[in-house]
Amino acid sequence: MTLALDGGFTDPPRQSALAFRAVLQAMARPGRIEELPRLSPPAPLSPAAAAVLLVLADPTTPLHLAPSHDTADLRAWLTFHTGAPLCGAEQAVLALGRWPDLQPVTRFRIGQPDYPDRSATLIIETDRLDSEGPRLAGPGIRDTARLSLPEAAAFQANRALFPLGFDCILTCGSRVAALPRSTRVEAA
């Protein structure tokens, strides 16, 4: 039980404000990499993904865990720290996992024409998060940016659905970047 209680914010008011601001900055500036507070969540959850979940998930946020992250320790940790109900991919507001384990991404909610905000946000755990890879363009990006993505085609297909589509938050270690559905992904 101790594992479920540990690993969250040690200074919740300050760390949650810093983490929330970093996530907002990442969403507002696609491709920009932000540093999040260092946490010690249960494996395989990265410190960055833990911080994202602590500021975005609550008892009204259905969360899907991909097989890569669906462990008893992580379930207990999430229940204690966020209270987010776990659900299937089709009902998820937030989804967490490695890119291959989140496939097919077409099963996640993309919103409706009259309510495009009723879509999912995918929290994608990656092995690396760098400012290299496919070019990004669009709102929040001056000229272009680059970001190491697990692939380009799925993000290009997602952009073609705009204003519908899912949003993505990429994490690695204590770093985070975002790829909103409004971002154009071009060849590397």
Written in H, E and C, the secondary structure of the chain is: CHHHHCCCCCCHHHHHHHHHHHHHHHHHCCCCCEECCCCCCCCCCCHHHHHHHHHHCCCCCCEEECHHHCCHHHHHHHHHHCCCCECCHHHCCEEEEEHHHHCCHHHCCEEECCEEEEECEEEEECCCCCCCCCEEECCCCCCCEECCCCCCHHHHHHHHCCCCCCEEEEEECCEEEEECCCCEEECC
Q: Mean pLDDT for the chain?
A: 94
Domain residue limits at 46:
2-186
Q: CATH number of the domain that 84 lies in? A: 3.40.50.11310
Is the pLDDT at 120 greater than 70? The verdict is: yes
Q: For 126-141, what is each residue's pLDDT tens digit?
A: 999 999 999 999 999 9
- Least trusted range by pLDDT, from 18-22, 35-39, 59-63, 147-151: 35-39
What pLDDT sits at residue 38? 87
Closest CA to 179 of 44, 27, 24: 27
pLDDT interval class at 2 (50, 70, 90): very low
What pLDDT sits at residue 188? 64
What pLDDT sits at residue 30? 97
Strand-pair category, 167-172 with 121-125:
parallel
pLDDT interval class at 1 (50, 70, 90): very low
CA neighbours within 13 Å on the CB side: how many for 179?
29
Q: What is the mean pLDDT of residues 79-107?
A: 97
3 or 148, greater pLDDT: 148
What pLDDT sits at residue 187? 75
pLDDT interval class at 98 (50, 70, 90): very high
* Number of domains forming the structure of the chain: 1
What pLDDT sits at residue 3? 59
